Structure 1
Amino acid sequence: MVISMTGFGRSKAESGPFSVNVEMKTVNHRFCEFNFRMPRQLIKIEDKMKKKLNQQIRRGRVEVYVTLEGEGTVTRKVLADWQLIDEFYQFVLEAKNKYGIEGQITLKELLSREELVHIEESEAENEELENLVLKAVEQAASQLKQMRIAEGTAMKKDLESNLGQILTVVSQLKESAPLVVEAYQERLTKRMQELLQGQVDEGRILTEVAVFADKADINEEVTRLNSHIQQFFQTLDVNEPIGRKLDFLVQEMNREANTIGSKANDALIAKKVVELKSLLEKLKEQIQNIE
């Protein structure tokens, strides 16, 4: 089925003192790539988060933002370098005695020096919190997928409309092909009549026309084009990622269009080939955002 690679999902989960907020967005990408921005304490469950996301997302660049709120997510403790404090205190006393400096060493002076006393924060590990994060990630991913599916449904209609136009042009090419050979035969006959003053070698004309018809024959290319188009239609309903296959089919259709263009010795066919390539380019742009 057609699923867009563009989407957004948001979820909030709460349990006791904890609150988890998850936001994620996806854009088109050749492969499936995840980029997490979250507290360090959640790094150890990153693989579990990826598994949850892979159940909903098979292709695209995924940006995931996780924030935590509540008591217990961070622990703080005071760290003091007592040996350094002792040395600092003794140094100040010696300096006072040596230079006759007046004044007292206050607690404020000691606390203001980060090299002596500082507060260390650490992110607490908590299984309940980690399960809450996984739940929020799953909910956000589900919301994101629904958005991707909705956009994909609209994209499918545009693709089918474009394919219908391509089918029309291919049908016109097939109808025009025999006319090219007939027009060449008429031009060749008229030219030989002018050169030979009315005496025409019918056998030679038929031989030249046969050679031209073989070189200008586009039936094989038209047949392959129709086959690729039918495969494209069928692939749109396959229940798996289809973006890469559709891209391949468009490449093959472009190849056939180029071959027809190189064989064409007719202004009408050349015009139709230009129209066909324009429609294929539009089709290529459309499928770049399909999972």
Structure 2
Amino acid sequence: MIQSMTGYGKSVLQLPTKKVTIEIKSLNSKNLDLNVRIPSYYKEKELAVRKKLASALLRGKVDFSIFVEMTADETSTTVNPGVVKEYMQQLRKMIEADTSTDIELLKMAVKMPDALKTEREELDETEWSTIAKGIELAIKDIVQYRIDEAASLEIDFKQRIVNIKAFLEEVNDLDGDRIDNVKTRLQKAIDELKVETDENRFEQELIYYLEKLDINEEKVRLANHLDYFLETLASPESNGKKLGFIVQEMGREINTTGSKANFAPMQKAVIQMKNELEQIKEQILNVL
């Protein structure tokens, strides 16, 4: 079962003194590019969070955030009275007393450095245990999102593989006409030269030329790659890199077939195969 690398997961927790929102967003990337933003008092848990995310999401550009909104009446930030008074005294010395009131001085003073002090909140293990469960829920949410997102991709991949197989069958049906066409063109070219030819030598040259244009191996390999793609697509684990490698091999066989075709109707079918494969290539970049 394939997964998309595009996803979103979220969980919201209401703790006794705060509301905690956990968000995970992901986009496609060749490797795991993990960005974690959490409050400073949870920093000691960051490594464990990274390991959990890496284990569950594997690949993609992932943004993980924990947002905390205090809901209690008390606050950990308080005014530093001594510092504020000192700022106000210094400001009075700089300006005329009758041009500014204490209220205006106070407004300026509280914006100065160290006018407010925040007591560092210590990590509460019981609280973190609840948050860790919220992280698990957010991860499950984004994984399910990835699975749902990939469902439409899988349908599209299968349809395009069916289309390529149909064009490959068309190529196979045209192969006999192509060989006859090549023989006729060669014989016509020799006839136009109006020279005598050794029939045995002509047959040898014709066989050599046709061997260079033979596409049986390409057709067999392409058919095998198409089946292997579907087999990998149906495997229990998502493997976008492997699917990408198979698509590359499919492209090689289609390109070689096109270069050897030397027959307009067959080249049209090859172009159709290339078009279908190009659509798969674009979408496969988003598969985990």
SS of aligned partner of 1:68:
strand
CA–CA separation in structure 2 for the residues paired with 1:73 and 1:40:
19
Quote the offset at 1:108 in angstroms: 9.5
Quote the offset at 1:245 in angstroms: 0.9
1:226/1:108 CA distance change after superposition, 3 Å:
closer
SS of aligned partner of 1:284:
helix
CA–CA separation in structure 2 for the residues paired with 1:29 and 1:35:
13
SS of aligned partner of 1:56:
helix
Which residue is 2:41 aligned to?
Answer: 41
Quote the offset at 1:81 in angstroms: 5.8
TM-score by length of 2: 0.83
1:249 alignment partner AA: I
Higher mean C-alpha deviation, range 70-79 or range 142-151: 70-79
1:279 alignment partner AA: E
Q: 1:204 aligns with which of 201, 205, 214?
A: 201
CA–CA separation in structure 1 for the residues paired with 2:140 and 2:119:
32
Quote the offset at 1:244 in angstroms: 0.8
Q: 2:266 aligns with which of 265, 269, 289?
A: 269
Which sections of structure 2, spanning at least 5 residues, go unmatched? Answer: none
SS of aligned partner of 2:77:
strand
1:186/1:148 CA distance change after superposition, 3 Å:
same
Q: 2:213 aligns with which of 195, 216, 225?
A: 216
1:123/1:209 CA distance change after superposition, 3 Å:
farther
Which residue is 2:52 aligned to?
Answer: 52
SS of aligned partner of 2:117:
strand
Which residue is 2:247 aligned to?
Answer: 250
CA contact (8 A) 2:36 2:50 kept: no
RMSD over equivalenced CA pairs, Å: 3.2
Higher mean C-alpha deviation, range 29-38 or range 210-219: 29-38
- The sequence identity of aligned pairs, in percent, is 31
Which residue is 1:98 aligned to?
Answer: none
1:58 alignment partner AA: L
CA–CA separation in structure 2 for the residues paired with 1:256 and 1:289:
24
Aligned length: 280
| Aligned ranges 1:140-219 → 2 under 5 Å | 140-196=138-194, 201-219=198-216
SS of aligned partner of 2:235:
coil
SS of aligned partner of 2:21:
strand
Which residue is 1:75 aligned to?
Answer: 76
1:107/1:203 CA distance change after superposition, 3 Å:
closer
TM-score by length of 1: 0.82
Quote the offset at 1:213 in angstroms: 0.9
CA-to-partner distance for each residue in 1:63-108, whole Å, 9 max, x for gaps?
22321133499623454668x95xx69x97xx9xxxxx99xxx899
Which residue is 2:222 aligned to?
Answer: 225
Matched, 1:113 2:114: no
CA–CA separation in structure 1 for the residues paired with 2:199 and 2:113:
109
CA–CA separation in structure 2 for the residues paired with 1:46 and 1:117:
28
1:110/1:204 CA distance change after superposition, 3 Å:
closer
1:196/1:56 CA distance change after superposition, 3 Å:
same
1:26/1:53 CA distance change after superposition, 3 Å:
same
Quote the offset at 1:112 in angstroms: 6.0
1:45/1:207 CA distance change after superposition, 3 Å:
same
1:73/1:65 CA distance change after superposition, 3 Å:
farther
2:147 alignment partner AA: I
CA contact (8 A) 2:218 2:253 kept: yes
1:110/1:195 CA distance change after superposition, 3 Å:
closer
Quote the offset at 1:233 in angstroms: 0.6
CA–CA separation in structure 1 for the residues paired with 2:240 and 2:263:
35
Which sections of structure 1, spanning at least 5 residues, go unmatched? Answer: 96-100
